Every structure is written in structure tokens, then in C-alpha cells.
Amino acid sequence: MILTVTPNAALDVTYTVDSLVPDEVHRVAQVRQRAGGKGINVARVLHALGGDTRALALAGGATGNAVARELATSGVPAELVPIAGETRRTTAVLALADRSVTLLNEPGPEVTAGEWAALLAAASRHRPEVLVCSGSLPPGAPPDGYAQLAATGAQTVLDTSGDALLAGLAGRPAVVKPNVSELIEVTGIRDVESAAAELRRAGAGAVVVSLGPDGLLAVTGSGTWHAAPSAALSGNATGAGDAAVAGIALGMSWREPWPQLLRRAVALSGAAVLGPLAGDLDLGHYHREHDRVAVRARGT
């Protein structure tokens, strides 16, 4: 079973407008709401693929209740650990004219030591084969919160940034998945392969770097690979990284070799770009693209 942990869950609200112009009044063509946060998005993708998964998250207040209702309606298996604070909302504005997406992310509620301990206990109780730790840590969470979760013993995929990423390396995650800017931020090294190697020296088993439309670069103990999509895509890229993480976690649970795992992750990432909301997939694209993804070993 793949357990995803989202300490800073959210109710994702997406507004669709014709165009987004500063200092103007906009008429919203469509409003959509769903449970979100990076780990929940990963679980949604895995559920759509028929994977054995469960989403674990902290949730509280009326917004937390809305998150719980949406997860129940969508059928994504979930356990929500209650907190006293109000779950945050995130707002995405999708402008149809240029397909741009503007994100407004609230910081999240203050989490108490007891609430964090309850999250750790729940993660340990599930005994997953693969543990996915995703997104920001909410205020009040321990700085090394992801290292504490990794200590539950499962193979861990860590997808976060900044101090949470650096502190999480103490848990020796099997994979960390930063994008290029996140990688440069935490290492100060602009060469992607050198920066990824630095994270491996600091505790990561492997580093898979999101290169945006250029795919993924994996720096591992057994080699370095670049996986590229067959063609550039336009759409909503907000859930593409989460879909890639779902592919990585699924490949780990199936013990796939790195080239196969990366092919799946890149195909899922593209399928997410074509989905309307984070966590959605164009399954037809995924199945067509899977065998078209080019995976090449670096340094050979």
C-alpha cells in the first residue's frame, strides 16, 4: 500500500476566467472545489490508476469538513486526523486566453504538538510499503517533521522545498523530488546534476528533478537518466509534479528499474497537464505516451 501524507491539506478552489488583467473586475465562468494539497493529489492519481493507496492528512474546521466530504464523494480512500485550526484554502485562477494559472496559497493553520503526534501515530499504524510525504509543513509542525515521518520505516518519497526538504534528508528518504528552482535554492549549486549529487551526499537515496516541459532527471546510486516527453503540452501544469510523484511511488512499489519508473512518471505528468484540475488525468494520453517517453542514460 502507498500512503500519502499531507500535513498542510487544503480545499482547492479553481476560478476560470477569460483573461486575468491587473486592477480589473473579472467575471468568473466556472468555480470548482475539491480536496487538495500535494499528497492528496498524489493519492487521487494513484486511485485513478487502480493503485492501493490511502491519503492521510490533517484537517479541521468547516473547510476540513468540506475536504472530508469531497474525498468521500470522489472515492479516494482517506484518513483525516482532526485539528483545532481551520484547514486552509488555495485559489487557482485559470485564464483561458493564454492558459496561464495564477496560484494563491494560504499558509495553513497552527498545528499543536499533540496533533502532530497523532499524525505520526496514524502513519506508523498503516505500515505502508511506500510513504509519500508531500507539500509544505504547516505552522507549528516540527522543522524535521518529514524526517520523523520517514522514521516509520517505509521507503519514503519526499516532495517538498526549502528548510523542510533539508531537514527531511535526516530521515534518509529513498527519493526526493525537487524542481530545478527548489534544488538550486537548497544547495546553492546551479548545475543540476551536481546539485542533485549534493542532496544524495546529504541523505537522499536518489534525486529526481522536475525539468518542466523537458521531463525528469534522475540521479541515483546506480546511474543517471533523463526522461523526456515525446512532445510539448499546453494545459494546467499545477498537478504535473504530483502525478510524477505518483508514478515514482507506483514504480517503487512494483520494484521497477529506473528507466521504466521514469517513463511512467513522465507519461503521468503529461496526462496531468491535460487534466482540468490537479489530481485529474487524461488516461488516454497516459497510455499512448508511456512507450513514447525517451529515457537515456547520462554519461554513457
- Give the active site residues: 242
Radius of gyration, alpha carbons of the chain: 18
Grid cell, residue 257, equals 528499474
3-state secondary structure of 53: strand
Burial bucket for residue 22 (CB in 10 Å: 0-12, 13-18, 19+): exposed
**DSSP state for residue 179 in the 8-state scheme:** B
CA–CA distance, 277 with 300 (Å, rounded to integer): 39
Cβ–Cβ < 8 Å for 142, 112: no
Q: Are 237 and 256 in contact (CB under 8 A)?
A: no
Q: What is the distance of C-alpha 204 from the center of its chain?
A: 17
50 touches 43 (CB < 8 A): no
Whether the CB-CB separation of 245 and 157 falls below 8 Å is answered with yes
CA distances 60 to 70, 90, 139, Å, are 14, 15, 14
Phi/psi for 191 (5° steps) reads -75, 120
Cell digits for 157?
518519497
Task: Report the alpha-carbon angle 15-64-124, nearest 5.
Answer: 120
**Cβ neighbour number for residue 117 with a 10 Å cutoff:** 12
Going edge to edge, which strands form the sheet with 88-95? 30-36, 10-17, 88-95, 100-105
Contacts of 23 (CB under 8 A, 6+ apart): none
